[in-house]
Copies of this chain bind each other. A is one copy, B any other.
Amino acid sequence: MSKFKTLIRLNTPVNIISSSSVVGNREVEGPLGKFFDITLSDDRFGMKTYEQAESQMVKMSCESTLNKCKYTYGDIDLIIGGDLQNQCVGHSFAVADSNSQYMGIYGACSSMAQGLVLSSLLIDSGHFSNILTSASSHFSTSERQFRFPLEYGLQRTPTSQTTVTGAGSFILSSNIPSDIKVTSALIGIITDRGIKDANNMGAAMACAALDTLQRYFAQSDNKESDFDLILTGDLGIEGASIVRETCHTYSLSLGDNYKDCGELIFDSEKQCVFSGGSGCGCSAVVLASYVMELLKKREIKRVLFVGTGALLSSGSVLQKMSIPGIAHLVEIVRS
């Protein structure tokens, strides 16, 4: 195996200097509601279409993140972004008038983690000092793109997840100090266990999360208990329970410090969300708001964030293809 197929310890830990989250009304009614920066009660956000609403949400999240550290787009060397819309147009339209260098990524619901991994590595290269990275999803754009028109009133299965309406973004920097830093990163390897049920993406992604966590702990001096929070995003209730039940077969010992963004964002008993949250926006807003707040308040100091993605399209599901999963990891430490 190539020696580089391993955990990357950054030469210089990369500062997370700002983050922000924008969510819809269902998300703000959930247990983490008070942590989000901006909420809009209307699914359209005053735009003509849900798709434009998602772009608007990304814009607002990026601008809020910039404002928090008194930056403008002119201070940013590069924007890295991804969403679930076909051809990632959510971000294309969101950043089209930013006059910023831009790279689109696609990692399905792992996009926030992929963006953080990539931003950290690029800053560590010395060629960039400030990178804005963003991920988003929107319930209504996803429903009609991946499933059925909203008006159809589809009956859901218990293992199906609810796409989060949300956009989260981070600014990573080499030249502005911060007590919160990305210290290492691990890029995911696609796992495919032959799962074909698009209403059980948690199962498809759980193996990817376990695989990445196993690779991390096999190469790191850290133990699971060294972390205040090991956070997957977003397996939902079904996927997270698979992780808890099978982690020992991956030589992993996950305890109460293991959580999943898809479980945290909604109250599954009170809110009609089936197996919890999903979508690029889910882990993006949970990390950008709740987790960052806990880090700032020193309630937690060490976080392993494992973004998980289900690599399907509505076409691949109709063609009865399996659902490969991927999980990218970043280690975030508060000094």
Chain A residues proximal to chain B, CB less than 8 Å: 1-2, 4-5, 8, 11, 48-49, 51-52, 74-78, 82, 84-89, 92-93, 95-108, 114, 117-118, 121-122, 124-130, 145, 187-190, 192, 311-316, 319, 321, 324, 326, 328
A-B CB contact pairs (8 Å), 26 listed? A2-B74, A4-B130, A8-B127, A48-B319, A49-B319, A84-B87, A85-B313, A85-B315, A87-B106, A87-B313, A88-B311, A89-B311, A89-B313, A89-B316, A93-B321, A95-B190, A98-B190, A101-B188, A102-B189, A103-B107, A103-B328, A104-B107, A104-B114, A104-B311, A121-B125, A125-B125
Q: How far is the CB of A118 from chain B (nearest CB, A)?
A: 7
Complex CA gap A101/B52 in Å reads 33
Contact B104 A105 (CB under 8 A): yes
Q: B122 and A192: CB pair below 8 A? A: no
Q: Which residue of B lies closest to A114 (CB)?
A: B103
Given contacts A2-B76, A4-B129, A122-B125, contact A88 B106 (CB under 8 A): yes
Is the beta-carbon distance between B190 and A102 smaller than 8 angstroms?
yes
Inter-subunit contact B51/A316 (CB<8 Å): yes
Q: Is B99 within 8 A of A51, CB to CB?
A: no
Contacting pair A77 B127 (CB below 8 A): no
